Amino acid sequence: MVILRDDLKIISTSMEERIVVRNRGGGSIIKHPPLFSSDGKYVYIICGWCVSAYSVQTGECAFQFVPECKEELVSMATYGDQLVTVTASGNVALWRGGARVPRKLMKLILEDNVLVVKLFTVASEHRPGDFDFVVAVKSNNMKDLQLWLYTKKLGKALSNLFVCAEDRPHSASVCDHFVAVVKHDRLTAVAFDKSIKKYSTLAGQGRWWTVIACAPEAKGLAAGDNTGRIVYWPQPFHSQARAVFHWHTLPVTAITFSASGSYMYSGGGEGVMVRWNVEVSNVRNFLPRLPAPILHLTISADNQHVAIATQDNGVQLADSQNRVSSVIQKMSWGLSPVEGTALFPAGLVWDSLSRSIILNGRPGHLQFFNAEDNKLLYNLDITGQNYLSQERHKDIINAEVTQVAVSHDGKWLVTVETRDDHEAFFETLLKFWQYKFNARQFSLNTCIQQPHKGQVNTVRFQPPGALSDQYLLV
């Protein structure tokens, strides 16, 4: 505790009152790609050191896999009807659906110079060789990732594939017969059959690879680049033939294939998922107006659902008709196109009526987050504007909520939204929202344009006096 005088000079300090900080909620559910269970009923999501299993039909959490050691998970994979989780130090656990205790534990034997495990994939039963896992590790003398083949019986590395990938998401992909990696402008594919010569190619002048994905059964390979182009090789080891798919204007960030390899799904900064027909490049379907740029794409084994991880810390579940069927959302994150801009400019405000914390969420929205239950109650669209995605060489500024105030009884909400791109007219809107008990959320009551000549720095309700039903805003 620190005691201050009126002039803010420190009088004395005391550590008798120890402050204990507890994690009440939040956390990222998009750091790692989601994964469907083998039967397609659940989608697994890593959050810290545990894995949550969400129902595909409802989007609700059905159960969790919680290891005893509180070490952050770095990767997961399915092994038959089991889930395999891996930590950075190489601890591997096999879980069966709904079990609270892992069925089996093992430890990967890492080389002395290895720092952390970054990627873990279970090899297919159709693999050529006696290895069980493909593991990407980061050494203390290299910035890139090295790929090794491991055996389950001994947890020991069998061989090094002698190929390096960048240390970022989707820079390596593994399928039944080969592994492919990207490192800046070079793409390399290495077959597990050592008699097949590896394939390597460059992205071209002014281009670099941003994502790579292998078709699981079709032996194909696709890579996206910074210009929004996707290049597909049907047989990378036997033919130089390739097809180019180009719809995205921003860098491609995620690619996945259907089980048979007939369809390809892609996403990027536009917030639109594109489904391509691999045989006919001009046949495509779109899932537009996703809440944020796409980070990961995962498809279920039966091709019935696609999990779309978006940058706002949410996972959208889309069905085979390209329609969002359910949403998995923890604490929502804002998007800041300009480096250094605050993600939560409105700060934290307590709502006594819903017993939740009000803070910025998606661009132009406020989220009501219940910290006691670690649950997002709802998002309130303040600006009523579609999110404008970024351009390749220019930052696009969207209107954002900068000030929030709630009355003492929670019946009135006041917001200030601004937009300033330093080019056009400075925009400010002061809005009054009234709580509707039937709808259980706020509804817009009054909107005032340009309440002041310049920026609004703060808004506050007057504390309740003798007349508690009167409200005064300053």
Domain locations in the chain?
A: 35-329, 348-473
Closest Cα partner for 34 from 261, 260, 291, 295? Answer: 295
pLDDT on residue 155: 81
Q: State the first-to-last Cα distance of the chain, in angstroms, to the nearest integer.
A: 32
Share in percent of the chain as helix, strand, coil (round to 5): 0, 45, 55
Q: CA 403, CA 398: separation in Å to the nearest integer?
A: 16
pLDDT at residue number 70? 81
Written as one string, the DSSP assignment of 415-467 is: EEEEE--SSS--EEEEEEEEEETTTTEEEEEEEEE-SSSS------BPPP-S-
Helix H or strand E encompassing 406:
strand 400-406
Look up the pTM and report it: 0.88
Q: How far apart are CA 254 and CA 228, in angstroms?
A: 11
Query: What one-letter code names the amino acid at 215?
Result: A
pLDDT, position 2: 41
CA distance 266 to 298: 10
DSSP-derived 3-state class of residue 30:
coil
- In this structure, the strands spanning 2-4 and 10-13 are antiparallel
pLDDT score, position 211: 96
For residues 27 and 119, what is the distance between their CA atoms, to the nearest angstrom? 21
State the DSSP code for 472: -
pLDDT tens per residue across all 474 residues of the chain: 444 444 444 444 555 556 677 776 778 899 999 999 999 999 999 998 899 999 999 999 999 898 888 888 999 999 888 899 999 888 888 888 777 778 888 888 887 767 788 888 887 766 666 778 888 888 877 788 888 888 887 788 888 888 888 888 889 999 888 999 999 999 999 988 888 888 999 998 999 999 999 987 778 899 999 999 999 999 888 888 789 999 999 999 999 999 888 999 999 999 999 999 998 888 899 999 999 999 999 999 999 999 999 999 999 999 988 899 999 988 888 777 667 677 788 989 999 888 999 999 888 999 999 988 888 898 999 999 888 888 888 888 888 999 999 998 889 999 999 988 778 788 899 999 999 999 888 999 999 998 888 888 888 888 776 556 667 765
- Say if residue 240 is exposed, middle or buried (CB neighbours under 10 Å; 0-12, 13-18, 19+): exposed
Q: How far is CA 293 from the centre of its chain?
A: 9
Write down the residue that tokens 């810390």 correspond to: 313
Contact 1, 13 (CB under 8 A): yes
Q: What are phi and psi of 340, to 5 degrees?
A: 95, -10
Distances (CA, A) of 108 to 33, 72, 166: 22, 16, 22
CB 216 within 8 A of CB 125: no
The pLDDT value given to residue 455: 85
The CATH fold of domain 35-329: Methylamine Dehydrogenase; Chain H (2.130.10)
